[in-house]
Amino acid sequence: MPRSSARQTGYGTARDDHTYLIAIGSNQRHPLFGRPRDIVALAMELLHETLGEVTACSAITASAPVGPSQRQYANAALLLQSRLNPRSLLNVLQDTEAMLGRVRRGQRWQARTLDLDIVLWSGGIFAAPELIIPHPLYRERSFVLGPAAQIAPLWRDPLTGLTIRQTAARLSRWKRKA
């Protein structure tokens, strides 16, 4: 990885790999794969086996539902080293979601067996019609920031310059005031 990328984010390797921060969530049971917590754990295993080296995993935590879904979520985050570019990684993540039972329907934030999001990557900013990195909403989501802060507290957002720890603290203060 170019030195500038490693310096910018604080995460990277000496190889030509990219480092990705992946958020994982589930709030729908699957008849074969079990409870949301089990699905998140299985997704973490599959990503490790198929995509590259998983260098860190957060604990799996519970969070309140977002949007129309009324089911509690199981959430986690992991750091992944992969030679895949962001578009290719997105395709593999979406295939993994489908393999574990996710069906994409029109409504956002509905119950789902698995949601895999690229939050940050060592390349800084990436923008394409199908994918924006940093994830546009991660700064507003404690269910992403909490697990991310467990494994990458010093990773800096390339847009704000704030670390994940600082972003999580700001969100926490804002929620307490609201």
Q: Is CATH 2.40.110.10 correct for 3-137?
A: no
Backbone angles phi, psi at 163, to 5 degrees: -75, 165
Question: Would you call 157 a catalytic residue per the annotation?
Answer: no
In order of 102, 145, 149, the CA distances from 140 in angstroms are 24, 8, 14
CB 4 within 8 A of CB 123: no
Question: Would you call 112 a catalytic residue per the annotation?
Answer: yes
Question: Would you call 16 a catalytic residue per the annotation?
Answer: no
C-alpha to C-alpha distance for 83 and 86, rounded to whole angstroms: 9
Question: Would you call 170 a catalytic residue per the annotation?
Answer: no
Token pair listed for 33: 């794969």
pLDDT value for 9: 41
pLDDT in tens, 49-90: 888 899 999 999 999 877 666 788 999 999 999 999 999 999
Residue 44 has pLDDT above 70, yes or no: yes
pTM: 0.85
Among the options 15, 16, 105, 115, which is catalytic? Answer: 115
Among the options 117, 139, 156, 157, which is catalytic? Answer: 117
3-state SS of 33-66? Answer: CECHHHHHHHHHHHHHHHHCEEEEECCCEEECCC
pLDDT in tens, 108-149: 656 678 999 999 999 999 999 999 999 999 999 999 999 999
